[in-house]
């Protein structure tokens, strides 16, 4: 089930199909979901952090870069695994199941979609909801 305003449902569906979610049965608008939660409905969430916090957590985690291949080749977090979000199901065998995965893209939007997919496969994920330029502006060397 997709949670989206009716005006955005077609575009959201297209984006989900690109990463392998091709069996969508319908959508619900955010207001309907809020009413569900207010009535005691079950919910889950994915932790979000910025690049500064991601850098502090890198030692005990794997970094997954879900930007396109050319974006990754241009600049990336050292030792990050490149797994473009539009082809993420193809990377199921190369994206580790453990430890925690720090999922990032250029701004956080693609990372959020990718993290939802990876969480559904049983992986522990954290979204880096930050601009990639905030990582590169830290002065870190990021081409390994």
Q: What residue spans define the domains of the chain?
A: 2-38, 48-136
Distance between CA 118 and CA 25 in Å, rounded?
Answer: 20
Distance between CA 79 and CA 62 in Å, rounded?
Answer: 8
71-111 residue pLDDT tens: 999 999 999 999 999 899 999 999 999 999 999 999 988 99
Which pTM was predicted?
0.74
Distance between CA 65 and CA 22 in Å, rounded?
Answer: 23
Could you tell me which CATH number the domain at 48-136 has?
3.40.250.10
What pairs with residue 81 in β-bridges? 64
Would you say residue 10 has pLDDT above 70? Answer: yes
Q: In this structure, is the dihedral angle defined by the CA atoms of residues 23, 25, 27 and 33, taken in order, positive or negative?
A: negative
Q: How far apart are the first and last CA of the chain?
A: 40
């Amino acid at each position: 089930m997709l949670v989206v305003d009716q005006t955005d449902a077609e575009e959201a569906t297209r984006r989900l199909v690109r990463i392998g979610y091709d069996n969508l049965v319908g959508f619900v608008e955010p207001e309907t979901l809020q009413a569900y939660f207010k009535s005691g409905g079950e919910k889950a969430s994915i932790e979000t952090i910025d690049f500064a916090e991601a850098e502090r957590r890198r030692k005990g985690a794997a970094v997954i870069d879900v930007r396109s291949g050319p974006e990754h080749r241009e600049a990336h977090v050292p030792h990050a695994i490149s797994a473009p979000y539009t082809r993420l199901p193809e990377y199921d065998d190369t994206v580790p199941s453990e430890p925690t995965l720090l999922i990032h893209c250029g701004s956080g939007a693609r990372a959020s979609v990718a993290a939802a997919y990876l969480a559904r496969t049983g992986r522990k994920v954290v979204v880096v909801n930050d601009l990639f330029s905030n990582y590169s502006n830290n002065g870190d060397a990021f081409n390994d």
